[in-house]
């Protein structure tokens, strides 16, 4: 990594930015910069000063994006040499050291800004690692990052995933590139709480699996006994398998993707040695879940447990209001399909919709149903997906009993 103790690229920031950075926020926006010594290149180490020319911190410079610097270090000046980077990764890995037992070998090793690695995530799927980059600032440093990972994390292969917005800027690196080891010749299989899942780390959504929903899947398992379950936006059947192992009578996967539904069937086949999963009736419906819930769904009172886990409905701030209304509409229709003593699990991964806004939209739908209900719990991020600043707090779920 860059070994210069005093980088030549120096930025002076506004008073407001001083306060924000001292409070631990990892982003410095372009409109907060009051003075810059020279143009900078993507990934260059920038040193940040306050209005009185006092050191604030250091970060990776992005000349093109609105987030001009992604912070690595604040506080006292420090040399960001190789030893610093090694210790930085070691500390990140240590935070996961005791989170999981031998029944789980799929989890997040590094969660971007909230672990001090802005715009970079690293997921483990047994002996396969998937590194996803969301910003060009890491591209000049990618070889060094891979070397650091190789030193500290044993693995069979390392796969590179690139956010869509940087794929055309990443050459010589490419989306799905195998950085270390050989390409898998058969599906990679990992364990989560003793359940086997296959994952496509080269082409699958995100890094191949939604590891962030692990704790909610475990809760669903504890609620599923004797119930008929609908898993809307089911992807590869994560919630469904936990529900089946928890004793569900039947599970219906609802997804628009035939590929995702086929993956769910393969995942069920991997777990038939679990008696409860073997007994559970597993069905699939290929349909747009929004349309199906509103127009095609069966008669009211058809399910005992419903999971709504849609993709992000607000990818930008201008879509926030529309997303809040959509969450409410989905919840209202789902409640109509719930049998007495049924449970609704409503999830949101939209960072632009706050926890209070999402929760209120679902509560309002429940109130308008005129059915008595109990709020069972509200959940957020799992321990391997820490959220240390507001923009990182995207995942939320609410459980309602009727």
141-156 average pLDDT score: 98
CA 341 distance to own-chain centroid = 31
- Residue 90: Cβ within 10 Å count: 12
302-330 average pLDDT score: 96
Residues 270/197, Cβ–Cβ less than 8 Å: yes
Fold entry, domain 9-74? 2.30.130
Residue range(s) of every CATH 2.30.130.10 domain in the chain: 9-74
Residue range(s) of every CATH 3.30.750.80 domain in the chain: 83-188
pLDDT digit string (tens) for 41-72?
A: 999 999 999 999 999 999 999 999 999 999 99
Residue 376: pLDDT over 80 = yes
pLDDT at 6: 45
pLDDT at 295: 85
Residue range(s) of every CATH 3.40.50.150 domain in the chain: 210-401
Sign of the Cα torsion 322, 324, 325, 329 reads positive
Pairing type for strands 250-255 and 281-286 reads parallel
DSSP state string for 228-281: EEEEET-TTTHHHHHHHHTT-SEEEEEES-HHHHHHHHHHHHHTTTSHHHHHSE
pLDDT at 1: 53
Pairing type for strands 195-199 and 281-286 reads unpaired
- CA distance linking residue 40 with residue 24, whole number of Å: 23
Number of Cα atoms under 13 Å in the Cβ half of residue 33: 22
- The residue with tokens 């040695």 is 273
* DSSP state, residue 310: P
pLDDT at 296: 78
Residue 3: pLDDT over 70 = no
Average pLDDT, the chain: 95
* Architecture in CATH for domain 210-401: 3-Layer(aba) Sandwich (3.40)
Range of weakest confidence among 98-102, 295-299, 314-318:
295-299
pLDDT at 256: 97
Residues paired with residue 48 on neighbouring β-strands, in sequence order: 11, 57
- Residue 271: Cβ within 10 Å count: 18
90-108 average pLDDT score: 97
Which of the four pLDDT bands, split at 50, 70 and 90, describes residue 10?
very high
Fold entry, domain 83-188? Transcription Regulator spoIIAA (3.30.750)
pLDDT at 300: 77
């Amino acid at each position: 990594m860059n070994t210069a103790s005093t980088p030549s690229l120096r930025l002076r920031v506004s008073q407001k930015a001083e306060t924000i950075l001292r409070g631990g926020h990892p982003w410095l926006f372009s409109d907060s910069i009051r003075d810059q010594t020279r143009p900078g290149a993507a990934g260059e180490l920038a040193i940040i000063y306050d209005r009185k020319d006092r050191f604030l911190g250091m970060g990776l410079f992005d000349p093109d994006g609105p987030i001009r610097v992604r912070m690595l270090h604040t506080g006292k000046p420090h040399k960001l040499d190789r030893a610093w980077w090694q210790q930085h990764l070691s500390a990140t890995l240590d935070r996961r050291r005791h989170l999981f037992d031998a029944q789980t070998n799929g989890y997040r090793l590094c969660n971007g800004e909230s672990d001090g690695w802005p715009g970079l995530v690293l997921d483990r799927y047994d002996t396969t690692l998937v590194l996803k980059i969301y910003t060009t600032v890491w591209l000049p440093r990618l070889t060094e990052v891979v070397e650091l990972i190789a030193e500290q994390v044993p693995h069979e292969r390392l796969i590179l995933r690139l956010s869509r917005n940087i794929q055309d800027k990443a050459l010589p690196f490419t989306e799905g590139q195998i950085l270390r080891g050989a390409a898998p010749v058969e599906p990679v299989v990992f364990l989560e709480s003793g359940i086997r899942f296959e994952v496509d780390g080269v082409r699958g959504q995100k890094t191949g699996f939604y590891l962030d929903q692990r704790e909610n899947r475990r809760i669903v398992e504890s609620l599923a006994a004797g119930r008929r379950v609908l898993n809307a936006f089911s992807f590869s059947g994560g919630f469904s398998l936990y529900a089946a192992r928890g004793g569900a009578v039947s599970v219906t996967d609802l997804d628009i993707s035939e590929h995702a539904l086929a993956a769910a069937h393969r995942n069920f086949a991997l777990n038939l040695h679990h008696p409860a999963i073997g007994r559970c009736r597993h069905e699939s419906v290929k349909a747009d879940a929004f349309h199906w819930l509103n127009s095609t769904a069966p008669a009211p009172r058809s399910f005992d447990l419903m999971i709504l886990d849609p993709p992000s409905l607000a990818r930008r701030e201008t879509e926030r209001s529309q997303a809040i209304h959509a969450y409410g509409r989905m919840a209202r229709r789902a409640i109509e399909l719930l049998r007495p003593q049924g449970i609704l699990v409503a999830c949101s991964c939209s960072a632009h919709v706050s926890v209070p806004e999402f929760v209120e939209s679902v509560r309002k739908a429940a109130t308008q149903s005129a059915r008595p209900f109990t709020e069972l719990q509200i959940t957020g991020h799992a321990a391997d997906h820490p959220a240390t600043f507001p923009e990182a707090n995207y995942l939320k779920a609410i459980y309602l009993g009727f």
